[in-house]
Amino acid sequence: MSQNNTVPFPKEFLWGGATAANQIEGAYNIDGKGLDAQDLMPFVVKEQRKGKINMDLTSKQFEHNLADQDGIYPKRFGIDFYHRYKEDIRLFAELGFKVFRISISWSRIFPKGYEEKPNEMGLAFYDSVFDECRKYGIQPLVTLSHYETPVGLIEKYNGWESREVIDHFIRYATTVLNQYKNKVKYWLTFNEINVITKSPYTGGGIITDRAKDPISVGYQGAHHQFVASALVTKIAHSINPDFLIGCMLARSEIYPGTNDPEDILLAQKENNLNLFFTDVQVRGEYPSFMDRYFEENGINIQKEAGDDEILKCHPVDFLSFSYYTSLSVSTHRNEEASEGNLFQGQVNPYLETSDWGWQIDPIGLRVSLNDMYDRYRVPLFVVENGLGAYDKVEDGQIHDDYRISYLREHIRQIGEALCDGVEVIGYTSWGPIDLVSMSTSEMSKRYGFIYVDQDDEGKGTLDRLKKDSFYWYQRVISSNGRDL
Ligand code: BG6
């Protein structure tokens, strides 16, 4: 870190943790909530996983899961945050959180997604959650859509394939922006907006075998989300000029596997494809390299007159992103692939891997922060980063030094980036409390500072237990990053 040992983190740095409604709330059919895309995602037995995890549903699987009452669908029960939010937020306050990232479940507010009037019980729930945060001086950071497309919109429109979903999203967003205008300042429109091109069902509630143009549908859905996000940014600023609206990207720094110029070019192309999404949302326009990519890949995007102007006029206020790993790509054959939930590259021999085979690269975070700040010059917010690992309870304690070490090294690199002159406004580690995994719906893949007594099948007392990392993160926050 800096030579003179001063703390690089600004006084107002937003320390905290990040979650998503579908991975914590449970109560999937309570108080008027409708089903969303994630309620239909089953637990994936480890032995059944081969290579890249499939997070899409075919038409047949969708119909089957919709009717299925016997399978294990862990996101339906989450960790019962719906009933335990007071206890959980109290623990976050004890950790010293300045910010708590949470998503609003769209189908709790508009059960099918296309109703005219919101579900008052859903609105009341988040009012109570935000009041509870305020009690402890914790700022909520709210994601409007974290893979939670209402099933009603999937059935009626095939999700974000259809332009009509823009209007339904705007109605939902306007409702909650108004409802919580005095309780929430920081908002994100779409979680990991780039995921829609990797898994159209996850990112956009799109069933690919129902799509008119399966090759283009991911980018078409992304275009609809870009327009929706820009319009919501405009509306948000008119509701409360103090609102700060961010985009959210799943960022992986992509390295060339060798110094063969072909590999340098490949890595540059892959980085550009990743940053295409923030190019649109921060700079307000499609970058020129995408024309060639669309043409070479047979992708046709239907834009309407006026879309480009909407994007140009309403860019986001800040850029947020998740960072778990870097990726290596090469034109040279290498049979070994690294793991990730949706992104895969080649094995980088200089890096260690997590229990789930994700490569651990704290320096890659510093590189990413520098690259993105150079490119965009807007405030950056690391809103997801963490280690999914197996934990063992021994005499009521969890000694998770592996998690501490992962987080320590990443936070240290954020400090370095701050010293490099990058503007970073906050850090919310992923899953401050154990939650259901997004990609595999496992409970045993744990990220938390707080252990939740529940197994993959949903059995357990749901008791919360502090891990060693709890006390460590508490010190990090209270020392504003000095005591790592
Ligand atoms: C991010 C998602 O991609 O990765 C989270 O925004 C997710 O929802 C996190 O939980 C970790 O992935 P996983 O598959 O380990 O839960």
Is the distance from the beta carbon of residue 437 to the nearest atom of ligand 1 less than 6 Å?
yes
The pLDDT of residue 7 is 81
Burial of 308 (0-12, 13-18, 19+ CB in 10 A): middle
Structure tokens belonging to residue 254: 């992509």
How many angstroms separate the alpha carbon of residue 447 from the centre of ligand 1? 10
> Considering its fold, how many domains does the chain have in total?
1
- Asked if residue 5 belongs to a domain, the reply is no
How many angstroms separate the alpha carbon of residue 117 from the centre of ligand 1? 31
Supply the CATH number for residue 53's domain: 3.20.20.80
The pLDDT of residue 19 is 98
Whether the predicted pLDDT of 116 surpasses 60:
yes
The pLDDT of residue 337 is 64
Is the distance from the beta carbon of residue 445 to the nearest atom of ligand 1 less than 6 Å?
yes
- Asked if residue 8 belongs to a domain, the reply is no
Q: Which domain holds residue 186?
A: 14-478
d(CA 345, CA 48): 21
* Ligand 1 mutation pick, 322, 355, 433, max ligand atoms within 8 A of CB: 322
- Asked if residue 84 belongs to a domain, the reply is yes
Which residue's CA lies nearest to atom 4 of ligand 1?
Answer: 438
- Asked if residue 484 belongs to a domain, the reply is no
Atom of ligand 1 nearest to the CA of 356: 15
- Asked if residue 483 belongs to a domain, the reply is no
Q: What is the pLDDT of residues 25-66, one digit of tens each?
A: 999 999 999 999 999 999 876 656 555 678 999 999 999 999
The pLDDT of residue 339 is 61
The pLDDT of residue 483 is 95
- Asked if residue 3 belongs to a domain, the reply is no
d(CA 195, CA 274): 10
d(CA 37, CA 26): 14
In which residue are the tokens 């205008």 written? 181
Which residue's CA lies nearest to atom 11 of ligand 1?
Answer: 438
How many angstroms separate the alpha carbon of residue 199 from the centre of ligand 1? 13
Whether the predicted pLDDT of 336 surpasses 80:
no
Q: Residue type for 33, please?
A: K
d(CA 420, CA 432): 28
Catalytic residues: 192, 384
Q: What is the pLDDT of residues 267-316, one digit of tens each?
A: 999 999 999 999 999 999 999 999 999 999 999 999 999 999 999 999 99
The pLDDT of residue 54 is 82
- Asked if residue 268 belongs to a domain, the reply is yes
- Asked if residue 304 belongs to a domain, the reply is yes
Comparing C-alpha atoms, which of 336, 335, 337, 340 is closest to residue 325? Answer: 340
How many angstroms separate the alpha carbon of residue 438 from the centre of ligand 1? 5
Is the distance from the beta carbon of residue 388 to the nearest atom of ligand 1 less than 6 Å?
yes
Is the distance from the beta carbon of residue 341 to the nearest atom of ligand 1 less than 6 Å?
yes
Q: What is the pLDDT of residues 103-113, one digit of tens each?
A: 999 999 999 99
d(CA 281, CA 319): 9
Please give the mean pLDDT across all residues of the chain: 95
